[in-house]
Amino acid sequence: MRSTLLKDMTKEDSITLILPSPVCIAGQVFQGQVKFYFPTLQSEEVEEVHVKLRGSVIVKFDKNHHGRSSDWEGQELVKQNVSIWSRGQVYPPSGSHTLIIPFEFQLPSYLPPSCHFENNKHCGMVGYVVEVVGVRSGMFKLNRRLTRPISLVPPDPIGAQIRHVLQMGDWGGSWTMVKKQDNIRRGLWGPLSHVMMEFQYPSMKAFPLNTKIPFIIRVVTRSKPMKRDECECRIDTTSLGGLGSSGPKETSPQIDVMDKLWVPDEYDKSMGHWVQESIIQSSFMLRCSPTFRITLISISYSMYVRVGFPGIGNDLSEDIPIQIGSGVLMPPNPYRVQPADAPPYEGPPPPLDLPPSYWSGADFASDEKK
């Protein structure tokens, strides 16, 4: 009994799904392989093996806003099947028990990117999955199934060029600047200080994924009217804009704090203002789903910038709407000439930052019993 149990535990799976990358690009030919181990395949009495590609949109929402009743809508995006093996068709070469058979799917170019969002009232998902089904004959025999969620992004040739330029070094294009300023005081009454924030980022139609996007924050503070030796303004650069210098060296911002400058009052030379300027340079990287809009769901983004100052309501902040693109090229086609100015193909993109619930495949219900 013990030896039989150990033998079953070490038995190789009858079918194994092999994917070169968990990420695919809309419009490409998506390829994979299925590995067959025939001793187990025969013992499980598998008659046929086919591969499915499924893509769908699922939206769930709370109807009464208390979580007691919900409704959902769905839309099929892609549905493709391919049969790759049937009993008596092909077997491993002599002396081997394994056989690897490739498969491929032509992905439609219109497919939206993968995404997953959920809170206590709503849930929205665009998901894709590859499923291998080993069909077993008999009324009470369940089919052998392997399900593997994959993520998808649309091609973005313009973003790929921008990504290539940013990876080469300093951004040589134009910059967009957002400026905010205000007069503030710590208490309810008293003289006012002046604060100003400038936020600069590269001017581009869409930010590419997995790319360091540089930005510059310039902050200038001017104290309330005072005597020169009364006090001085000070900028706390360790928390300015949520940036800190305690992180890894490659992600730590460069902070330049200029010397304080005394500016005498135009009419009363015994009074004046302390002025100080700080410049913070750093970068951020995006791994989220690209911007898109379809019938049931859409994703849009804004970049929120905030610089905090002492006192209630004294922060300077701005919401900046932005677009996000994949920044990836289609895999090279040997039968198509690439443009001379096209950046080099860098291989499959990294996976999107999707929650574990997406990769678990729990939301991908099989559409057939067989």
Structural domains of the chain ordered from first start: 10-154+337-360 (2.60.40.640), 158-325 (no CATH)
Phi and psi torsions of 327, nearest 5°: 70, 25
Which segments within 223-365 are labelled E, that is strand?
226-227, 254-257, 261-264, 271-284, 292-293, 298-299, 301-307, 316-322, 324-325
Element (H, E) at 356: helix 356-360
Least reliable range by pLDDT among 13-17, 131-135, 152-156, 232-236: 232-236
Q: Kindly indicate the confidence band of residue 234, based on its pLDDT and cuts at 50, 70 and 90.
A: low
**What pLDDT, on a 0 to 100 scale, did the predictor assign at position 66?**
56
Q: Kindly indicate the confidence band of residue 335, based on its pLDDT and cuts at 50, 70 and 90.
A: low
Give the model confidence (pLDDT) of 168-205 as tens digits: 887 889 999 999 999 988 877 888 889 999 999 999 99
Q: Kindly indicate the confidence band of residue 248, based on its pLDDT and cuts at 50, 70 and 90.
A: very low
Closest CA to 111 of 163, 72, 159, 155: 155
**What pLDDT, on a 0 to 100 scale, did the predictor assign at position 105?**
96
What is the rounded CA–CA span in Å between residue 168 and residue 326?
18
For residues 216 and 200, is the Cβ–Cβ distance under 8 A? yes
For residues 136 and 45, is the Cβ–Cβ distance under 8 A? yes
- Residue 244 scores a pLDDT above 50: no
- Residue 369 scores a pLDDT above 60: no
Kindly give, in sequence order, each residue whose CB lies less than 8 Å from that of residue 118, ignoring residues fewer than 6 positions away: 124, 355, 357
What is the rounded CA–CA span in Å between residue 225 and residue 233?
11
Give the model confidence (pLDDT) of 49-79 as tens digits: 999 999 999 998 775 655 555 677 889 999 9
For residues 220 and 244, is the Cβ–Cβ distance under 8 A? no
Does pTM top 0.85 for this prediction?
A: no
**323-338: average pLDDT:** 81
Residue 334, Cβ neighbours under 10 Å: how many?
A: 4
Q: Kindly indicate the confidence band of residue 158, based on its pLDDT and cuts at 50, 70 and 90.
A: very high
**What pLDDT, on a 0 to 100 scale, did the predictor assign at position 122?**
81
- Residue 238 scores a pLDDT above 50: no
